[in-house]
Amino acid sequence: MKRTTFLLLTASSALIALLLSITPLYGATNTEKIDTELMKIASQLMCPVCRGQSVAESNSELATNMRSVIRTKLEAGQSREQIKQYFIDRYGDSILGAPPARGANLLLWFLPAALVLIGGVLIGAKIYHTRGEPGTGADEGAEKHGVEGKSDYVSKLKKDLDDYDS
C-alpha cells in the first residue's frame, strides 16, 4: 500500500512538473505566432494619422491603439480578413495599403497602363508619319518634304570643315 501510494505520488508529481514546464513553451510560441500575425496585418493597414506609414511602422498613439485592437482580436480567434474588415468598416478602403481594384480604385489600377499604351501608339504614329512613305530612300523622302538631299548635306559639311581647318 505504501509502495502504491509512493508510486502514485511520484507519477502525479512528475506529470505536474512536466505540465508546468511545457506551459511556458506553449505560451511563448502562441505569443510569437500572434506577434507575427499582428505585424503582417499591421503592415497591410495604413496609419490614418501618419501619411505614407503603415500601422506597423508608425509610432503614433492611434497606431499603437490599432495594434492593441489587432492583438485583442487575434487572441479572441478572429481571422486576418475579419480584422481587416473591422478597420475597413471604421475607416473605409483608404485604410488598406493596397486598396482593392473595384469602383473608383479600378480606374487608378488601370489608368497608368492605358496611358502608357496610348502614348506608345501616338509616338509610333508620329514616327511612322515623319519618316516618309515606306519604300522610299532617305534622299527621296527628304526631297519630297522640300529638304535638300543627303549628298548635298555631306558636301556642304565637308566644305565647312575644310574652311574651319584653314
Q: Does 121 fall in a domain?
A: no
- Axis crossing angle, helix 2-44 with helix 61-75, rounded to the nearest 10: 140
CATH number of the structural domain spanning residue 78: 1.10.8.640
User: pLDDT tens, position by position, for the chain (166 residues)?
Assistant: 567 776 666 766 666 766 666 655 555 467 888 888 989 999 989 988 888 888 888 889 999 999 999 999 999 999 989 999 999 999 888 888 877 766 776 777 788 889 999 999 999 988 888 875 555 555 555 555 555 556 778 888 888 888 887 6
Q: What is the pTM of this model?
A: 0.49
Q: Give the pLDDT confidence score for residue 150 in this predicted structure.
A: 66
Q: Give the pLDDT confidence score for residue 109 in this predicted structure.
A: 74
Q: Does 150 fall in a domain?
A: no
Nine cell digits for residue 41:
496585418
Q: Give the pLDDT confidence score for residue 149 in this predicted structure.
A: 55
Q: Does 124 fall in a domain?
A: no
Alpha-carbon span 34 to 16, nearest angstrom: 27
For residue 103, the 8-state DSSP code is T
Q: Does 151 fall in a domain?
A: no
Q: Does 67 fall in a domain?
A: yes
Q: Give the pLDDT confidence score for residue 162 in this predicted structure.
A: 87
Q: Does 91 fall in a domain?
A: yes
Q: Does 143 fall in a domain?
A: no
Q: Give the pLDDT confidence score for residue 17 in this predicted structure.
A: 66
User: Which residues are CB-neighbours of 48 under 8 A, at least 6 positions away?
Assistant: 62, 91, 95
Q: Give the pLDDT confidence score for residue 86 in this predicted structure.
A: 92
Which residue range(s) make up the domain with 6?
Answer: 1-99
Q: Give the pLDDT confidence score for residue 72 in this predicted structure.
A: 93
User: What percent helix, strand, coil does the chain show, rounded to 5?
Assistant: 75, 0, 25
144, 136 contact by CB (below 8 A): yes
Structurally, how many domains does the chain consist of?
1
Nine cell digits for residue 118:
496610348
46, 55 contact by CB (below 8 A): yes
Q: Does 33 fall in a domain?
A: yes
